[in-house]
Chains A and B, each alone.
Chain A
């Protein structure tokens, strides 16, 4: 998966347009990135990528790039 594809996945997850998200986009700027969004992300990460997020990883996510970084660290982003 490319970074662009991963960003598209994040945009769909949080019901945002891809154009509105950059790696620097903060969590506060994404209304659907609330507790339910967090739960949805955990479930999707698990089922789509086999990544089980820990509570500390979740707490550390404050911008889009933090999500991308988890995917990178797990070898899911190739570019």
Chain B
């Protein structure tokens, strides 16, 4: 499985908020173990969905400070099971965004019900630490679409 936990960005105001979606493929091998006969999306992946969505919102605001990296899960709660195949609507609101750090309040809804929430802290890593030429396909796709 690739670690791409945002399928599509629906709405984005750089540095302010983002709405995005992710649907986990029921055929993913991890569901054989999580859990046998009772497949549910792991809380760590729900958290990562929120982190990746918030990260795209921050990256779209100011790419010069580096790539947003999850530094701390200040809080996270999981209210309902999310099963593979269910569409997760991810929302993140950036609370503060500075050169050295950023914070975000995030949640995920499935069928109109909040299933997970988190409060996240980000730091920024210099671009030269990553593979040269790396690009965020999901963010670029949204930006291209937004430009028409």
Contacts and interface: CB of A to CB of B under 8 A. Distances in A.
B143 interface: no
Contacts, number: 24
B96 A39 contact: no
Q: Helix, strand, loop or mixed for chain A's interface?
A: helix
Interface stretch (A1-9, A15-23, A41-49, A66-74): A41-49
B98 A47 contact: no
A47 B96 contact: yes
B72 A39 contact: yes
A36 B98 contact: no
Interface residues of A, number: 9
Contacts of A36: 71-72
B103 A42 contact: no
Interface of A: 36, 39-40, 42-43, 46-47, 52, 55
Given A39-B72, A39-B101, A46-B98, 13 more contacts: A36-B71, A36-B72, A39-B71, A39-B100, A39-B121, A39-B123, A40-B72, A42-B98, A42-B101, A47-B96, A47-B103, A52-B98, A55-B100
